[in-house]
Structure 1
Amino acid sequence: MPFEPLVTAVIETTLNTLIQDEPELGRRLARLKGQVIQVHLKEVSKTLTFVFSQQIDVLAHYEGEPDCYLSLNLSVLPELREHANITKLIKQDKLVLEGDIQLAQKFSQLMTDCKPDVEEWLSRVTGDVVAHSLVKGATNFGQFVKSQATKHQNHLGQVITEEWKLAPAPLEVAYFCDQVDDVKSQAARIEAKLNQLMERV
């Protein structure tokens, strides 16, 4: 199976499954019925077309004209929920939007709220108790890994600055910045005096 149809099939199946599991998402889908939204993902330089009916169809190739076209990074999508952010994102070149702004906001809200409840899905296979234990265990393990990574990062920072002397310590950087500020203010005073002398001459 070619890569693009596989990716669109996975996205389509995942979104439709999540929407079926959550009545509120189904109501939001109904508001988009009959609309076509095209999204160009800058990270991968690919364009996906979302066609809304009783469900969502995700297409890698679409010949028609979409009702709304977006070009963005995925990280920007949640920010579209706020109308005020859209103008800011366009000015910052983080978003290209053609078509209905309200449609883009509805799409953003639907996509950002389509988050899987892993524990609920696992409970269908393993039962509630096992699913809860697995999710809690995975969360605790993730927090442990994160704390260990932070600890090692701090230790490495101390080794680089204090033992190996490869980088200045934070206090040395602050002292250097203070010295730079002093030199700048002295230079400004000297420049002002020179200007006064030049005016007299």
Structure 2
Amino acid sequence: MPFDPLVTAVVETSLNRLIQDDPELGRRLTRLKGQVIQVHLKELNKTLTFVFSQQIDVLADYEGEPDCFLSLNLSVLPELREQANITDLIKQDKLDLRGDIQLAQKFAQLMKDCKPDVEEWLSRLTGDVVAHSVVQGAKNVSFFLKKQACKQQSHLAQVLTEEWQITPPPLEIAYFCDQVDTLASQAERIEKQLNKLLEKA
């Protein structure tokens, strides 16, 4: 099976399953009914076309003209929900947008909210108790790993600044910056005095 049809099939099936499981997402889908949005993903250099009807159809090839065209990195998509962000992203060359801005915002909101409820899906296979235990265990492990990573980062910072003295502590950096500012001010005053003396001479 070619790569593009496989990707579009996975994306389409996943989105439609998530929308079926959440009535609120279903209501949002009806607001996009009849619209066509094309998204060019810069990281993959691929274009996906989302056709909205009773469900979402995801196409790799589309001949018609979309109602909205977006070219962006995936990480930018959540930022589209706020109209102020859209202008900034266009100025920063992070987004190329042609068509209806409000349509882009509705699409971004829908994609952001299409998050799988892992516990719900797992409970269909294993039952509620096992699913809850597995998800809770995964959250605890994730929290523990994050905590350990923060500890290691803090320890490394202390070793670098205090024991090995490779980098100066933050207070020393602040003090140095203050001294530089003071010196710059003094140099400016001396330069002005010299210019006055030269004008008199």
TM category (shorter chain) comes to over 0.9
Aligned to 2:153: 153
* Aligned residue runs from structure 1 range 54-133, under 5 A: 54-133=54-133
Partner of 1:181: 181
Instruction: State the match for 2:37 in structure 1.
Output: 37
Query: Partners of 2:74 and 2:58 in 1: how far apart?
Result: 16
Deviation at 1:180, TM superposition (A): 1.1
How far 1:123 moved relative to its partner? 0.9
Tell me by how many angstroms 1:158 deviates: 1.5
Structure 1: gaps of 5 or more residues: none
Task: Provide the rounded CA distance (Å) in 2 between the counterparts of 1:127 and 1:15.
Answer: 24
Q: Which stretches in structure 2 are left out of the alignment for 5+ residues?
A: none
Deviations along 1:158-201, one digit per CA (max 9) or x if unpaired, are 22222222222222212221221121111111111122212222
Matched, 1:165 2:165: yes
- What secondary structure, in the 3-state scheme, does the structure 1 residue paired with 2:97 have? strand
How much does 1:92 deviate?
2.5
Alpha-carbon displacement from aligned partner over 1:7-60 (angstroms, at most 9, x marks no partner): 222111110100011111112112212211011122322211111122111122
Amino acid at match of 2:121: W
Aligned residue pair count: 201
Give me the whole-angstrom Cα distance separating, in 2, the residues matched to 1:81 and 1:64: 26
What SS does the corresponding residue of 1:150 show, helix, strand or coil? helix
- Map Cα deviations across residues 126-152 of structure 1 (whole Å, 9 max, x no partner): 111111111111111101000000101
Give SS of 1:29's match.
Answer: helix
- Cα distance between partner residues in 2 of 1:58 and 1:152: 44
Q: What residue identity is the alignment partner of 1:184?
A: A
Q: In structure 1, what is the equivalent of residue 140 of structure 2?
A: 140
Q: Which moved more, 1:73-82 or 1:15-24?
A: 73-82
RMSD: 1.5
Describe the superposition over 1:57-114 as per-residue Cα deviations: whole angstroms up to 9, x where unpaired.
Answer: 1122222211110112222222222223322322222221101112112111211111
Higher deviation after alignment, 183-192 or 140-149: 183-192
Instruction: Tell me which amino acid in the other structure corresponds to 2:174.
Output: A
| Counterpart amino acid of residue 169 in structure 1 | P
Give the TM-score taking structure 1 as reference length.
Answer: 0.93
User: Please, which moves more after superposition, 121-130 or 174-183?
Assistant: 174-183
Once residues 63 and 168 of structure 1 are traced to their aligned partners in structure 2, the CA distance between those partners, rounded to angstroms, is 60
Tell me the equivalent position of 1:24. 24
2:189 and 2:111 mapped to 1: Cα distance? 58
